């Protein structure tokens, strides 16, 4: 999809008309909304990174604990 086609899609979704038909006020509204969405998307991406990192650390810790428990069972047998 070309940049113009993407802008047209966003304009129709946000302003309710094609990009080519937007007034300056419409473009201002479109710009503000797209900036807000971009900021929210970046924040969501950062949150996903934090959750992924936490999950990875927990899985590694659980795996290490399981390996140690398995090794301890072998030693006692």
DSSP string, the chain: --HHHHHHHHHHHHTSS-GGG--HHHHHHHHHHHHHHHHHHHHHHHHHHHHHHHHHHHHHHHHHHHHHHHHHHHHH-
Band (pLDDT 50/70/90 cuts) for residue 76 is low
Name the residue with higher pLDDT: 16 or 68. 16
pLDDT tops 70 at residue 77: no
Q: 23-72, pLDDT tens digit by residue?
A: 999 999 999 999 999 999 999 999 889 888 988 898 998 888 888 888 88
């Amino acid at each position: 999809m070309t940049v113009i086609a993407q802008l047209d899609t966003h304009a129709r979704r946000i302003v309710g008309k094609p990009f080519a038909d937007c007034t300056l006020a419409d473009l201002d509204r479109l710009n503000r909304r797209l900036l807000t969405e971009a900021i929210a998307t970046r924040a969501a991406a950062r949150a996903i990174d934090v959750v992924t990192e936490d999950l990875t650390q927990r899985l590694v810790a659980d795996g290490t604990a399981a390996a140690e428990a398995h090794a301890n069972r072998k030693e006692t047998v």
